[in-house]
Each structure stands twice: as structure tokens, then as C-alpha cells.
Structure 1
Amino acid sequence: MDDGVTLRRLSVFCLVVDAGGVTRAAEQLRVAQPSVSGQLRSLEKALGATLVVRSGVSLVLTEAGERVYRWAKEVLASSAQVQRDVDDLVAGTAGSLVVAASMAIGTYLLPPVMTALRAERTGADITVQIGEPEVALRAAQRGTIDFAVTSWVDSEVPEDLIGEKLWEEPMVLCASPHGPPDGDSITLAQLHDLPLVGVPSGVSFHRMVQDQLRRHGTALPTPVIRLGHAEAIIEAVSANGWVALAMGYMLRRDVEAGRVRAVEISDAHLVEGIGLYHREAKYFSPLQAAAVEALRELGRARS
């Protein structure tokens, strides 16, 4: 291995693998495709091995490429962590914390925990990034965040991460005050007769609900519409007399305000597991460790 193995070339190589090809990697980097191809060839030359080969329209990792890819991810994640640690020391802050969370968890569950932590540590620099669970988990793998908090899906802990199921939240049916169903509870069979607002298929919440319904011998009804944010779902239910499977913690304020009501599912215990994910080699600073413990304490209280 010579000096040609740079962090930049390792980063480009990993992006090519993650993006599924040179063209997509170039698009994400906003550079010309030959620039990415050149970085890849230079890395192969420096290592003295072919890392990828073409198979049809796709690039496939060689055995050497598989090994370099795993190593490169660890190097890049460690590099990002070291840079952040040095930045904290130079800035003289009381520590930094960057958390990535899925949409509903980041909107409803994390803010009270993080604001309370910030009130205790006036010099702390705390950031909560909110987005798709897959994006949060990739950020945890890269080491650009300290940990991710997303919906827990059994047996789906991503490579290079440690997963911890913190607690479970009950799922209910969100309904409008004057729309269906009649009464304060329904069965799973009755759900199929109602106009359901769904989430985009393929997201972790959709998979989680599908898995639980399969265990009860049924499946999700075809939705009238799919919406990707909790606030949009609640608004659609309230305005149209529709219904949606939702987490109780999402609805508290809207139920109190009379915009929607929470209907119990009488013959099934549907839940959302709250999972915490971080890199295997992650070192937690005192602030980061305090945040993890605060989440565990919240889990114990809500359980």
C-alpha cells in the first residue's frame, strides 16, 4: 500500500459501491463521471488490485474489493469521529451531540429529552437530524452522527452497527371526531372496511406494520392515499373522515384539541419498537453517554 490510498479516494470508492455505480456517484458528487473513474483507477493502482468488475450494466466487487470496502468504511467513520472530537476541543465547548432520528420519533419523542439535556449543560452543542430511517442508519455507519433512534425492526440490525431496543410504543387507529368507525374500538377485520391513509411502501414503519399484521393472519388494506409525514397524515384524517394506523405519542396534542380521536384495536397488540443504533467501535463522550442514558430512562418510564 502506498501514498495513493487517500481518504478522498476511499470515500469515492465507498460512494460508488453504495450508489451502485460510477454514474450515480458522479451525480451525487456533482462532478464529471471521468473524475470518479479516475479516482477509482488510482486507488486500484495504489493497492495493486482490481476492486470492481463490470457485470452487465452493474459494477460488482471483487474479493479484494469486498475486503477494502469494509476496511474503508471503518477508516472513514473513524476519521469523521476524530475530526469532530478535535473540533470540540478547539471550540472549547461542553461537548457535542448529533442524533439522527426517523420522522415521528424525531418530531415527538426526542425534543423533550434533548431540550432537557441542553438545559442541564449550557455549553453543549446538540443537533437532532430528522429524516428517513435508512438515512439515519447510514449516517450512523459512516460515523457522521453519534447514534440513530428509529423504529425497531426485528432481525434488521445493519452491518457494523449495534442495535438496542429501548421500549415499545402502542399503536392505535387515528380517526376523525365525526367519521368512522363508530365507537372507541375496532377489530382488525373491521379495519379493511375503512378508508385508510397509509405511508409510503418500503419504509421501515410500513414493513413493521406488515410484519405484525402477518403474524395476526392479515395484511394492510389498500390505502386511499400514502403520505410520508405524521402531520400530513393527521391532517388528512381530520379533514376527510379517514383513518390511519398511528402511534399514540403522535396524537396526544391533537386528541386533546379535539382534532382526532384514538381508537383501540381490540384483538391485536400492535406496537412500534424504539431502537437505538450506533457503531460497534463508538466511544461516547460524557454528553453523548448522558443522552443515551436519558433515552433508556424514558424507555423505563414509558414501559
Structure 2
Amino acid sequence: MRALIFVEHSNGVVSENAFEMLLLAKSIGAECHGLICTGDAGAAQALGTQLTGFDAVSAVADPTVGHYNPEAVLIALKAAVETQAPDVVMTSYSTAGVDLAAGLAVRSERPMLGYVTDLELNSGGLSATSQVYGGKLTAKTDLPLPAVTTVMPGARKAGSLSGAAPAVTMLKPDLSGARTRVREIITPDNSSGVNLGNADMIFCVGRALGGTEKLPLAEALAAALKAELAGSRPVIDAGWLPKIRQVGKSGTKVKPKLYLMAGVSGAPEHLEGMESSELIIAINSDEQAPIFRKAHYGTACDMFQLIPALTERLNSGNS
């Protein structure tokens, strides 16, 4: 059994999801190969030194993939698949991972399964557990090999294995067929100084907040907690809070000591950004909301009754 893992990275640091997928692949006894795509050989070698536990690491170092370019990276990934013939290709359930997995499945004529949380061996290949209906249910699927999967963040607790990192082997696929070019990288304006990634406590509101007229309630509780106020993607898309305050795969990944949320359903996009928090508390009127499966504590109640009461309790000094 051989697994090829697409290794995401940012600012010279390998993403935790690479090690989550590594540990998941190791749990089924797979030989694990990593693929790095970056702008130059020096960066590839530096990233490769972080990949302890991998059995082999390949890299495509080319300015065309220096910044994430889905068309070019897909060409690189397909070339790695043709070279290594893995039984299963694993990408994270992330913006890049979803891009690549679907495209690779079509181009390599392999079956694909998304939202994977666990893998087991069976007589015909793999048995995969995955989330369906936005995480409200799980399904078990017999997945014939070779295959492509997108793996949910948190499928395994992140952590590299011991030992030396393998040497990086350079691949040189022909990327000239990529018509897409990255013209500009735009970073969010953070003149406000907000840094959710460094916050010890975060209070996050979801779509159920209803609108900007309810923001003062949320802001009051965040102030009473001395916490940063954050929002799920629907809140940001609606313009109720600025982008810099978004938690999730297309926002900021956070690990506070306390993550309190109200009106957040628990979509995979959001879970990816906050599931490593030390203490997760959820408020949601829907008893069946997927977030209750991830929260350490939760209450199914009206957030507009609880938030003011909790704020008053904190401000009174009786917390």
C-alpha cells in the first residue's frame, strides 16, 4: 500500500494537515510519499527537512508553482502520480485540496471520496468513513483502489513521526500547458491590529446572529470575556464583520484556550479553522447541529436570551 500526500505549506512552514494525513496513512500500513510544490529548489529542500515520518519526499520547484496555481499544481500532481503509481492520493479538505482532488480524479480516471475522517483496509481495497450532509451524518464506503481522497482536518491528531526526514527528490514535469498565471497576491488589510491566531479567547458568531443590528450584543459579550470577536464565513460574506475576523479554511486557523460560539452550525469549512481549540463551547438552538459533535460543552437554547444574561453575569463579577 502506497500513499501520495500533497503537502501544503505557508511562509516556509508545512501545514499540520500534512502530518494528519501521514498518521492516517500510517494507520493502514501505507508507505507514505509526500509531494511539495514550491518556487525554487532551496525552498523545497527547507520544507523537506520538516517532513519527518515520511518514507519519501518529492518536490516540483518552479516559479509557476511558487504561489498556488491550481492548473500548474494539478499538472505537477498528476506527473507525481504517473511516476509513483500510488494506491491512494490524499489531499486535505482545504481550498487547494478540493481543487486538486477533483481534477486529479478526472484526469487519472480514479474514483474520489471527499470529507474522509478514517480509513481501514478491506479485502477489495479501502473502507473509508466520511462526513455527509454537512457533517450531520457519517457514511462508510468501500473505495476501490487506486483512488483519490480529501481528508477532513482533525482526522488524526497532528504530529510528525520521529526520525530523520528523507532526502527530497526533484521532479521536473512540463508545466508549459498551464495557462493560468498568478498576477498578484492580495493580503487582508490588518490596520486594526486584529490577530485571531494569537488570541487566547475567541467569541465567534454565525449566520443565526441575523444582522449587524445584533452585533452590539456579541461585542458586549466579547468585551466582558476580554475575547476577540470572530465570525463564520456567512457572517463575513454578509459584511457584518471584516474578513480579518473570519475563522475557517478560507479565514484564519485558530487555537485559543477558549472558543465560544453562538449560532454556528458546524460546517466542515468552519471546523477546519477552530477544531484544535483547547476548550470549545457551542450555543445553538438546533439540538441536531453538527457543532455539538465537536464541542466539549454545548447548550441548545436561544442565543439572544443567553448572551445578554452571560454578559451581565460576567460584568457583575459573579462569574
More strand by share: 2
Q: Which has the higher contact order (CA 8 A, sep 6+)?
A: 1
Asked whether the two chains share a fold, i.e. TM above 0.5, the reply is: no
Report the TM-score, using the length of structure 1 for normalisation: 0.30
Report the TM-score, using the length of structure 2 for normalisation: 0.29
Structure with the greater alpha carbon radius of gyration = 1
